[in-house]
Amino acid sequence: MKIKITLLKQLFLSLVLFSMVQSGFAADTVKVRMQTSMGDIVLELDKEKAPISVKNFLSYVESGAYEGTIFHRVIDNFMIQGGGFDESYNRRPTQPPIVNEAGNGLKNLRGTIAMARTNAVHSATSQFFINLKDNGFLDHKSPTPRGFGYTVFGKVVGGMDTVDAIRKVQTSSGGPFAKDAPKTKIVINKVIIEK
């Protein structure tokens, strides 16, 4: 009798766990919808392989920090970058820099989202970029300042047409940037975590 009850408990727990996985509760990814002035971009973030970067990005999402920011750098056949400046090119306040997770195995392939940073390896804060093509030279190669790479933490799963529309906008100088700033501002109106 005890064995039957134990087996029933195990079966019940297995069914509950399977149901949670199917419904996304136990998933290692989370989806966000970035509503821009040129259309929506849906991103799937990889919590398993880039936990620090995803947590960081979501903290900016939850605080509303990305609302009213712009894609301030657009380089066709390379990437589009945003998350740091408002429409007047005022720099948004940031949290402390995070640890670089570029050695997580994720590659800078077309449609992936990665953390932007300075030349300092562990300097990423709020800015991110979406790769417009496979940019293997940005991948982690060695634990040196030159070879460390840029952390990929997710990918576009909807709205790649919006990304491709952004890549085609005309650019010039703008704010502190001598070039690559869109002539018409591309605004991130809101970023929503999708359940």
Is residue 138 in some structural domain? Answer: yes
> pTM for the full model?
0.86
Is residue 12 in some structural domain? Answer: no
- pLDDT, mean of residues 106-117: 98
Q: Which residues contact 170 (CB under 8 A, 6 or more apart)?
A: 182, 183, 184
Is residue 7 in some structural domain? Answer: no
- pLDDT, mean of residues 59-66: 98
- Range(s) of the domain holding residue 71: 27-194
Q: Does the pLDDT of residue 66 top 60, yes or no? A: yes
- pLDDT, mean of residues 67-76: 98
Is residue 10 in some structural domain? Answer: no
Is residue 155 in some structural domain? Answer: yes
What is the total count of domains within the chain?
Answer: 1
Lowest-pLDDT range of 16-25, 74-83, 113-122: 16-25
Is residue 9 in some structural domain? Answer: no
Q: Does the pLDDT of residue 32 top 70, yes or no? A: yes
User: Rounded to whole angstroms, how far apart are CA atoms 182 and 70?
Assistant: 9
Residue 68 belongs to domain with CATH number: 2.40.100.10
User: Rounded to whole angstroms, how far apart are CA atoms 125 and 130?
Assistant: 15
pLDDT digit string, tens, across residues 122-132: 999 999 999 99
